[in-house]
């Protein structure tokens, strides 16, 4: 695991730089998209690279990590709409190139199977952007998710619904109780993982993810089994890492050939 501790602007620049380097090398790359607050300034930077440097998404495909069940098609917090608003519409990414699990399907199980098939049909995800919940969830794999889990229907914990109430006018009752989420096993198949976390409220989850024992109770610890993970954290999110100083030295001495610039 490559841990980079840096100010927020640099974290966003590095994550966007990794996506941009991939798209320049492989224009039809498959990019895994996270929602929530963590990737917003990465999407801002990608929009800037598109506008100012002509970074093209024309041939790329995108796959969302997760989706709420039951939000109306035009609901602003439906993740499909969030990605359209925050990224796709700003980088000229055609809606049919960006996919998400169908949280409005009559048969949610079949929608999960279809989503797994769609990811596989696209050749798998080249680079997956991730955030982390305060309880260590990634995508919506809540504590006690199986490390080998696949895309499925999950119930959101009260903690996650409280954390996300800020997107729903502060009213936890408005946050759906169910979601569709890529599983931990699905996420681990992406070729490269880039995780972003900021703030003191993420510090314990980050500590468990990087230094804790692998445990279903801290789902992000599954990333320890992946060969190419970059964890981008600010000082506050890194504040409980025993090895933080070592990470700072390692990052400074990393060879320029490391492909996260």
User: How many residues make contact with ligand F6R (CB under 6 A)?
Assistant: 13
Contact 145, 179 (CB under 8 A): no
Provide, rounded to whole angstroms, the least separation between the CB of residue 89 and ligand F6R. Answer: 18
Q: Which of 62, 103, 131, 219 is close enough to bind ligand F6R by CB under 6 A?
A: 131
- If DSSP states are collapsed to H, E and C, what string results for 18-68? HHHHHHHHCCCCEEEECCCCCCHHHHHHHHHHHHHHCCCCCCCEEEECEEE
Q: Tell me how far apart the alpha carbons of residues 196 and 39 are, in angstroms, rounded to a whole number.
A: 7
Provide, rounded to whole angstroms, the least separation between the CB of residue 125 and ligand F6R. Answer: 13
Nearer to ligand F6R, 172 or 250 (CB): 172
Look at the alpha carbons of 146, 147, 149, 151 in this order and tell me if their dihedral is positive or negative: positive
Provide, rounded to whole angstroms, the least separation between the CB of residue 65 and ligand F6R. Answer: 4
Per-residue contact string for residues 87-126; x = within reach of ligand F6R by CB under 6 A: ----------------------------------------
Q: Tell me how far apart the alpha carbons of residues 83 and 65 are, in angstroms, rounded to a whole number.
A: 11
Q: Which of 66, 116, 126, 142 is close enough to bind ligand F6R by CB under 6 A?
A: 66
Asked if 136 is part of the footprint of ligand F6R (rule: CB under 6 A), the reply reads: no
Longest dimension (CA), the chain: 53
Q: With contacts defined by CB under 6 A, name the span among 5-13, 46-54, 134-142, 250-258 that binds ligand F6R.
A: 134-142
CA distances from 10 to 77, 92, 199, 255 (A): 27, 25, 15, 18
Q: Tell me how far apart the alpha carbons of residues 87 and 196 are, in angstroms, rounded to a whole number.
A: 17
Q: Which of 5, 65, 175, 187 is close enough to bind ligand F6R by CB under 6 A?
A: 65
Planar angle of CA 225, 206, 134, nearest 5 degrees: 115
Q: Spell out where 30-133 has E strands.
A: 30-33, 61-64, 66-68, 98-99, 127-130
Q: Which of 137, 152, 192, 207 is close enough to bind ligand F6R by CB under 6 A?
A: 137
The H or E element containing residue 242 is none
Asked if 159 is part of the footprint of ligand F6R (rule: CB under 6 A), the reply reads: no
Provide, rounded to whole angstroms, the least separation between the CB of residue 38 and ligand F6R. Answer: 3
Residue nearest to ligand F6R (CB): 131
Nearer to ligand F6R, 174 or 258 (CB): 174
Nearer to ligand F6R, 38 or 186 (CB): 38
Asked if 206 is part of the footprint of ligand F6R (rule: CB under 6 A), the reply reads: no
* Interacting residues with ligand F6R (CB under 6 A): 34-38, 65-66, 131-133, 137-139
């Amino acid at each position: 695991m490559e841990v980079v501790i840096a100010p927020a602007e640099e974290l966003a620049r590095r994550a966007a730089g990794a996506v941009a380097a991939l798209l320049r090398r492989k224009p039809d790359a498959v990019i895994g998209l996270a929602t929530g607050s963590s990737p917003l300034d990465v999407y801002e930077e990608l929009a800037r690279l598109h506008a100012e440097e002509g970074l093209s998404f024309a041939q790329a495909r995108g796959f969302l990590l997760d989706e709420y069940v039951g939000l109306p098609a035009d609901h602003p917090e439906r993740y499909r709409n969030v990605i359209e608003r925050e990224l796709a519409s700003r980088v000229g990414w055609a809606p049919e190139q960006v996919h998400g699990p169908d949280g409005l399907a009559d048969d949610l199980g079949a929608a999960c199977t279809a989503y797994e098939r769609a990811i596989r049909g696209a050749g798998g995800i080249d680079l997956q952007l991730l955030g982390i919940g305060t309880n260590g969830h990634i995508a919506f794999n809540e504590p006690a998710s199986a490390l080998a889990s696949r895309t499925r229907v999950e119930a959101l914990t009260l903690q996650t619904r409280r954390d996300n109430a800020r997107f729903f006018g502060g009213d936890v009752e408005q946050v759906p109780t169910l979601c569709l989420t890529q599983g931990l096993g699905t996420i681990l198949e992406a070729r490269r993982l880039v995780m972003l976390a900021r703030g003191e409220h993420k510090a314990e989850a980050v500590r468990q993810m990087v230094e804790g024992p692998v445990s279903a109770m801290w789902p992000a610890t599954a990333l320890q089994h992946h060969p190419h993970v970059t964890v981008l954290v600010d000082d506050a999110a890194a504040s409980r890492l025993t090895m933080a100083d070592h990470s700072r030295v390692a990052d400074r001495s990393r060879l320029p050939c490391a492909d996260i610039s």
